[in-house]
C-alpha cells in the first residue's frame, strides 16, 4: 500500500512519506451518506491499533486540520491522511483503515497485493456508486427529477439515463413504437 505523492507527503526530516511510521490517521467521510456513517460507526466500534480520527469531509474541522488538502476531492472519494502527511485515496484509504484495526491487518495486507487490489477497487467503486445514487436522490427530494447530464430519477423506477450515454433522447416528442 503506497501513499499518494502530494505536497502533504513531505514528511518530517526529509524522509519519504511511504517510509514514515503512521501513528494516527484522519479519516474523511461523507457525513450525508448512510453507508459512510455506518462504516464510520463500525470503525469507531473496533479496537484501534492506530488511532482513527473520523472527520466529516469538507467540514470546517477538516479544513482546519488539513488546510492544504483538496477538500472538494475528499467529497468525491474516501481520503485518509496520516499524521506525517501521507495521503491515501480510494482502495488504499479503505486498506489503511483496516490496517489500523486490531484483527484486520492480515486482511489489509491481502488487499494491498495485486490479487487483493481488484476486490478492494470493486468495493470502493460500489460504495462510490451508492453514495452518488443516494446524493442524487436527496437532491430530488424523493420526487421525479432530471439532471443536466441526462439522468432522470423516478421513485418507482429508480435512475435512468437518456442522451449520448443511454437511450435516445427526443425531448418528449418521440414517435410511438411501431
* Buried b / exposed e along 63-73 (16+ C-beta atoms within 10 A): eeebeebebee
pLDDT in tens, 45-83: 999 999 999 999 999 999 999 999 999 888 888 899 999
136: in domain: no
Residue in 59, 2, 18 with CA at minimum distance from that of residue 36: 59
Give the range of the structural domain holding residue 83, as residue numbers without chain letter. 7-115
In this structure, the answer to whether residues 95 and 21 fall within a common structural domain is: yes
Residue 168 predicted with pLDDT over 50? no
Decide if 163 contacts 157 (C-beta within 8 A).
Answer: no
88 confidence band (pLDDT: 50, 70, 90): very high
Q: Are 73 and 128 in contact (CB under 8 A)?
A: no
C-alpha cell at 85: 502527511
- Confidence band of 160 (pLDDT split at 50, 70, 90): confident
Tell me, yes or no, whether 135 lies in a domain. no
CA distance 162 to 151: 6
Q: Each residue of 17-30: pLDDT tens digit?
A: 567 789 999 999 88
Residue 14 phi/psi, 5-degree rounding, is 75, 10
Mean pLDDT, to the nearest integer, of 129-150? 67
Q: What does the alpha-carbon distance between residue 114 and residue 106 come to, in Å, rounded to a whole number?
A: 15
Q: Are residues 107 and 154 in the same domain?
A: no
Regarding whether 153 and 77 lie in a shared domain, the answer is no
Dihedral of CA 8/9/12/18: which sign?
positive
Specify the CATH number for the domain of residue 106.
3.40.30
Domain count, the chain: 2
Q: In terms of domains, do 99 and 162 share one?
A: no
Measured in degrees and rounded to the nearest 5, phi and psi for residue 90 equal: 60, -135
63 found inside a domain: yes
Residue 3, pLDDT above cutoff 50: no
Regarding whether 79 and 153 lie in a shared domain, the answer is no
Report the DSSP beta bridge partners of residue 82: 25
Q: 95 and 147: one domain? A: no
- pTM to 2 decimals? 0.64
Amino acid at each position: 500500500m503506497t501513499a499518494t505523492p502530494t505536497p502533504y507527503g513531505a514528511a518530517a526530516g526529509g524522509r519519504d512519506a511511504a517510509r514514515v511510521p503512521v501513528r494516527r490517521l484522519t479519516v474523511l467521510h461523507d457525513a450525508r451518506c448512510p453507508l459512510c456513517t455506518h462504516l464510520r460507526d463500525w470503525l469507531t466500534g473496533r479496537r484501534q491499533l492506530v488511532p482513527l480520527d473520523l472527520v466529516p469531509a469538507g467540514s470546517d474541522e477538516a479544513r482546519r486540520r488539513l488546510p492544504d488538502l483538496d477538500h472538494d476531492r475528499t467529497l468525491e472519494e474516501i481520503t485518509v491522511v496520516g499524521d506525517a502527511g501521507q495521503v491515501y485515496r480510494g482502495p488504499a484509504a479503505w486498506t489503511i483503515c483496516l490496517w489500523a484495526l486490531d484483527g484486520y491487518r492480515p486482511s489489509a495486507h491481502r488487499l494491498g497485493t495485486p490479487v487483493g487490489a481488484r476486490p478492494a477497487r470493486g468495493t470502493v467503486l460500489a460504495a462510490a456508486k451508492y453514495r452518488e445514487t443516494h446524493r442524487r436522490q436527496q437532491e430530488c427530494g424523493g420526487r421525479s427529477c432530471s439532471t443536466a447530464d441526462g439522468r432522470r430519477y423516478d421513485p418507482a423506477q429508480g435512475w435512468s439515463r437518456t442522451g449520448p450515454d443511454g437511450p435516445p433522447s427526443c425531448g418528449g416528442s418521440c414517435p410511438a413504437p411501431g
